[in-house]
Structure 1
């Protein structure tokens, strides 16, 4: 199948997708009630979107195209409130977080669609282990060449989004020691990681043709890259974030990305090169393992500093762009979270206070549902 042309989008527009946990209000384990919730919300009001995910204990919601922080937050809150009302009718709860704290992958059920069955047959047990929950953010790009430049320029900021969104310290009842253990499940897929260093849409087309000729790839959906182009939408899609515990954090992360993208597009502070990726895997691991306390190596200067400090310096650098985009409230939320803790720290604190992981999930559900 040939790669489609890259659709034209308004630069710096945003779309947010959130994968969410459906949990029982009895024991707070995952519960396979996606079809019931989809039926209950079929007539929701608003331009947003709700659809199934790979297993029946998850759903994905997506916003309409947004330009500014305030309308984005308003839409996400409306989505949350309508979903929460529907969930209460079904006697279930909805939670954020990148992993469920104690579910067992073997108990999950594949959602009955043709694509999800295909993924299950292709990847075996990995498909059920993919019951993890992420936030994806789309940023509009006017053409494919601009999209690929921005994709590679953003690579040095990927650890920021991993550390800021990290909310998956627990897996199958154990504290993994990672702030974002979710990404370890994503890394297991053969077409995960970073996109190839192509600089033009024509060059990317050549790469795509070679991949489809091997039979390994059928469409762009087969790539699980950290950032990937979405030609049908005219966007690039950042895929490294865990689903935050609140919609307010989700909106702030999206606007942080939008503001960085404006800084990169308008100031072009550096030119992306293949060598930028020499430190990419190290930086990404540090963010997953240690969160905001991890270290980051600057690919240009080779200097090393704490991720928290690098984010603070970035916030100072992009402050003028945040003002122009009306995103200062979002930047303030990001800044405040640097001095509190990320969601992984909050979940660990709940575990210490409540001991039972079921109570930790209950607290997370209460927080997400407002």
Structure 2
């Protein structure tokens, strides 16, 4: 199968997908209500879409093509409000967060859809362990070559995205000591990690053709990279974010991505190099494990610094671009949480420390998602 041509898209346009948890309101464990939710949501006219995910206790919502993070927020809020109303009818709740804190993977059911059944046959128990919840941000690129340049520039900021969105400290009832444990599950898949270092679409096409000749991949969907090109949309898709606990934070993260992309296009601040990836896995691990308290190694200089300092320096540098694309409020919201070293993982831990009951942490997270706290 040959690679699709890279479609035209408006530079810096945005699209956001959120994978969400469906929980019962008895003990706040995951509940297999995706089909019922989709049936109810199908009757409501909404921007974007609501679709099933790998297991039947998850759904994915997505915006349409947006021009700003404010538009993203408007669309996500509209979808969220409809989701909450539908969930209330079913006596269930919808929750953000990168993992459900105490669900048991072996109790999950694969959603009855050909692709999910095929993946289950291929990946075995990993498919049920893939009951994890992420945010994906698409950013429109002017051309295929510029998309690859954008992808490899964004790779330096992967630790930012992980620490700012981290919301998966608990797995199967235990504190993992990670702020984002979700990404450890993604790493189990053979085609995860980073994209190959190619800076032209011709080079990338040659790589894709080699991979399809091996029979290992059939399409771009088979790559679980942290960032991947999406030629059918004319975008790159950043996939390392945990699903935040609120749509406000989800849209703010898209504004941060858009501001960075604007800076890259306007200033061309640095040329990516293969050597950037020497510290990539280390930086990624640090952000997953320690969140806002992580260490960041600058790939260009080798300097070690606090990740929080690197994020704050970057936010200052992209301020004109945040203003230009209408994301100043989004970046301001995130800056406040960096200054306080407070992300959603920390919020969940604080609730659990106070309540000593993970089900209560999920209940409060459900209230938070619906905008009640």
Tell me if the contact between 2:47 and 2:79 (Cα under 8 Å) persists in the aligned partners.
no
Q: CA RMSD in A?
A: 0.6
Aligned-partner Cα distance in 1 for 2:201–2:114: 30
3-state SS of the aligned residue for 2:186? helix
1:90-239 mapped onto 2 (5 Å cutoff): 90-239=90-239
Q: CA deviation at 1:70?
A: 2.0
Offset at residue 209 of structure 1 (A): 0.6
CA deviations on 1:170-193 (whole Å, 9 max, x unpaired) are 000000000000000000000000
Deviates more, 1:73-82 or 1:112-121: 73-82
Q: Which region of structure 1 is more displaced relative to structure 2, 71-80 or 31-40?
A: 71-80
Q: 2: distance between equivalents of 1:44 and 1:286? A: 42
Deviations 1:9-45 (A, max 9, x none): 1100000000000000011000000000000100222
- Residue 369 of structure 1 deviates from its aligned partner by 1.3
Instruction: Find the aligned partners of 2:14 and 2:326 in 1 and give their Cα distance.
Output: 14
Whole-Å separation in 1 of the counterparts to 2:113 and 2:143:
32
Aligned-partner Cα distance in 1 for 2:366–2:339: 24
Q: Which residue is equivalent to 1:285?
A: 285
Q: Secondary structure at the match of 2:51?
A: strand
Report the alpha carbon displacement of residue 75 of structure 1 after superposing the two structures with TM: 1.2
Q: 1:52-110: per-residue Cα shift (whole Å, max 9, x none)?
A: 00000000000011111222211111111010000000000000000000000000000
Q: Which residue of 2 aligns with 1:28?
A: 28
In the TM superposition, what is the alpha-carbon distance from 1:339 to its structure 2 partner? 2.7
1:327 paired residue number:
327
Aligned to 2:241: 241
1:368 maps to which residue?
A: 369
Q: What is the match of residue 342 of structure 1?
A: 343
What SS does the corresponding residue of 1:296 show, helix, strand or coil?
Answer: strand
CA deviations 1:320-349 (Å, max 9, x no partner) are 011111111101101111133100000000
Partner of 2:256: 256
Q: What's the CA shift string for 1:266-306, capped at 9, x where partnerless? A: 10111011000000000000000000100111111111111
Q: Is the 8 A contact 2:76 2:247 kept in 1?
A: yes
Deviating 4+ runs (over 4 angstroms): none
Displacement after TM superposition at 1:244 (Å): 0.1
Unaligned runs of 5+ residues in structure 1 are none
Q: Structure 2: any 5+ residue segments left out of the alignment?
A: none
Please name the residue that 1:13 is paired with.
13
TM-score with structure 1 setting the length: 0.99
- Residue pairs, 1:304-323, within 5 angstroms: 304-323=304-323
Q: 1:167 Cα shift?
A: 0.1
Q: What is the count of residue pairs matched by the alignment?
A: 370
Q: CA deviation at 1:46?
A: 2.4
Q: Secondary structure at the match of 1:54?
A: coil
Tell me the secondary structure at the aligned position of residue 135 of structure 2: strand
